[in-house]
A and B are shown apart, each in its own frame.
Chain A
């Protein structure tokens, strides 16, 4: 069966799952079955089909599983968000359509994605500018003590989501060119292999950007995500584990320093270490996240059965259920099994992403696919790890599931790039 036919076959069960999910939520809310779930299912399937036919024409050889997996995550997200607030789900659906438009445009204009290499410093500049934007007067917005948002007229978005793609493109391109010198020029000092300083300059810029994010944007989650993506790429490009160790040490020293000096970052770490110190205020979100999970058990309470607000009031029992803590709600309603399914989808997505990197022929494609996959997987880790208290909880979205336009649109661009690399890699592999 051809790649696209496999994709088509995989989309059918996803659409059915979405229909069933909506049916379950309707049944819970109105105690009756509603045709609306079929209509939503049909809409969703139609949008997926349109995308599928576009891919059939444009990228016939691209990986057949990535898009169905994304559709599955979106289906999960739509049902959960709908169950929290129907109007948010409508927004989310609009964002998905917009995301798919950008997805198609990316594929249309970047069919020859090598062009990205030529503009790598411009892209890096745009990425930095995007990071800076939330602190710029007039456009910046502060959310919960962190500067995450940008508001341009009616358009509000979270630039870090787009910035991560710029960073990966820049790093992939830069490392493709300099990996040889980074390896050959390395010197051993005191038994530790150090990279050559001259070529390492731009790398330090990335470290600086991560620290900058900690201090000025106060965004521990994005900072962690960026730096992890950077180390992943550095490791894959050079094969030097010692670079990773040095980088990690630098990050930890920096993070420790800023965690003890920047109040917001410091608080986040304190809450993580002892959430019970202030269970009603600062520790409320992480504690409620864990309590919601404790309530889920093995099988969960069922779609639409979990408590999000305190009944009879508008106060949140699970704060930010549609964004940060959506994973906790999934554990609460679908149980450990449902949560494992979600984690498994992210893992399978990563597996397909890395497979593309393995298959790709040239260094840039390999590094690009690796970087995009890594940043995607680590984003999922940062937020799931945050709500399960593996690491401090920070405001990062769960890709394709959480409510949020920037996240959906940016991740569709990420997916488009991955499929572009995949299409070329598989065409070249077949040509041999």
Chain B
């Protein structure tokens, strides 16, 4: 019988080897996939036991912090947002049941203090509980407050303010917003609110016809490609026949032969339509792409929560070989759509001597001991236009505010460069289907000679023009930021 006993033991050894094999599979080899399973709430519950780091504005205002609830085994942290809806966008929310969004989601690893398995074992040996890092953002709480208050008065819309030299995002406001503290109680309601869409960050996800603000891109392409110079005169009649449909100036005004300065100051449609045709599809697309169109912005927000700007058929971006009406694209019409973030980037690139910096909300990561572990190193996204082109454009944009269509953006004692936009959006269902509704825009920067801030403001479904409703927002926000310097 001894031989059989030994064989039986061998069989038991084999069975136990299978157990070790399966245990290894679940605990090590398949562990990552298991942690990502939807049914697995364990990682979230554990994250809840970690004190998530705070999120602060550049001036030290606490946007988000975690407060303890319960004791011992029941100890967990819950997110609080002391500023309520003010930073609903772009900060978003983070809760165990409801998940997370926007900035909270993008910077999750830093906020919960996730490290490599090795260093977390070292921490465990030292008896240290995992603790999250604070993140200081570039956001300016006063300017965000001003932008939000102005938007609430003007209507749904968004404001984005970027420091041109660094790409630091100082304001990102979107109206309607939401109070992240309410998310655990009314996420469903927020999600299904079709009239206000409070969870939509209009600054990065709201795509609107840019109207005349886009003429700056057309002008940039024209100057930088050498198609025109500031001295080139183009005849600008009151109306122009483009693809069988008349393209008109406001009040059919006939300007005669004029140069860029006059054309931009008065936002002459027929002038820019012809420039667009001279520049051509390929060149215009090349410059659009360098300004950031046709790809998702390189900002620190989750990629499913930002949208690319461009010429859109449904959700598909069209290219230079698709049949498009280039003359109308050149004046910001056709199927061209842009986010307020994109237009702020255009203003920022012009303001920064033609260099487009990557827009970033975060500024530095501070560990629980108060040490700065990471600091934003501003980096260049592209150089769409030369310094000369940028200077020539700035001069033209100064005219817009000094004597043109954007006078309401003027700040006393400061030179402002900018461009208005008023895209007609009649019969738009999201605006209630009226005939008089516009998408009102203003984008620009100040001070023109040494730009500190570039801003785009956009208001949906307004019967007013860019200069009436968007330019004042620009002025208020720019003034607040410049005064705070």
Contacts and interface: CB of A to CB of B under 8 A. Distances in A.
B5 interface: yes
A299 interface: yes
Interface string A378-403: 10010011001110000000000000
A325 to B, nearest CB: 13
A298 interface: yes
Given A302-B124, A366-B1, A293 B74 contact: no
Contacts of A307: 42, 45-46, 49
A236 B40 contact: no
Contact of B48 (A279, A280, A311): A311
A299 B43 CA distance: 17
Contact of B19 (A279, A309, A390): A390
Given A311-B73, A354-B9, A291 B42 contact: yes
A317 B19 contact: no
B153 interface: no
B440 to A, nearest CB: 48
A377 interface: yes
Nearest to A298: B28
Interface residues of B, number: 47
B19 A354 contact: no
Contact of A374 (B8, B24, B48, B73): B8
Interface string A3-46: 00000000000000000000000000100000000000000000
Dominant SS among interface residues on chain A: helix
Interface stretch (A141-149, A210-218, A340-348): A340-348
Nearest to A332: B27
A347 B76 CA distance: 40
A343 B20 contact: yes
Contact of B42 (A232, A236, A292, A370): A292
Given A302-B124, A336-B23, A388-B23, A295 B42 contact: yes
Interface stretch (B31-39, B138-146, B331-339): B31-39
B15 interface: yes
Contacts of B7: 235
Contact of B9 (A279, A350, A390): A350
Interface residues of A, number: 55
B27 A293 contact: yes
Of listed B5, B24, B39, B43, residue having the most chain A CB within 10 A: B5
Contacts of A299: 121
Contacts of B49: 307, 311
Nearest to A363: B1
A297 B31 contact: yes
B75 A311 contact: yes
Interface string B1-25: 1111111110011011011101110
B194 interface: no
B485 to A, nearest CB: 46
Contacts of B46: 295, 307
Contacts of B24: 336
B27 A309 contact: no
User: Which of A236, A294, A347, A357 lies at the interface centre, i.e. has the most chain B CB atoms within 10 A of its CB?
Assistant: A294
A33 to B, nearest CB: 12
Given A290-B26, A294-B31, A340-B23, A357 B73 contact: no
- The residue among A347, A370, A389 with the most chain B CB atoms within 10 A of its own CB is A347
Contact of A235 (B2, B4, B72): B4
A415 interface: no
Given A311-B70, A312-B69, A390-B18, A293 B5 contact: no
Nearest to B11: A232
Interface centre among A310, A311, A354 (most CB of B within 10 A): A311
A366 B3 CA distance: 12
Contacts of B34: 290-291, 294
Nearest to A287: B39
A71 interface: no
B322 interface: no
A237 interface: yes
From B3, B18, B30, residue with most partner A Cβ within 10 Å: B18
Contacts of B70: 311-312
A316 interface: no
A373 B255 CA distance: 103
B117 interface: yes
A389 B19 CA distance: 9
A347 B12 contact: yes
Contacts of A384: 19, 23
A359 to B, nearest CB: 10
Nearest to B39: A279
B22 A389 contact: yes
B43 to A, nearest CB: 8
B344 to A, nearest CB: 42
B1 A291 contact: no
A331 B42 CA distance: 15
Interface in B110-125: 117, 121, 124
A381 B15 contact: yes
Nearest to B3: A239
A385 B19 contact: yes
A283 B269 CA distance: 65
A89 B3 CA distance: 42
Contact of B12 (A29, A312, A374): A374
Interface of A: 29, 232, 235-237, 239, 276, 279-280, 283, 287-288, 290-299, 302, 307, 309-312, 317, 331, 335-336, 339-340, 343, 346-347, 350-351, 354, 357-358, 363, 366-367, 370, 374, 377-378, 381, 384-385, 388-390
Closest 9 CB pairs of A and B: A279-B39, A294-B34, A388-B22, A294-B31, A293-B26, A236-B4, A291-B40, A293-B27, A354-B9
15 contacts: A29-B72, A288-B42, A291-B42, A292-B42, A295-B35, A309-B73, A311-B49, A336-B28, A343-B20, A363-B1, A370-B8, A374-B12, A378-B15, A390-B18, A390-B19
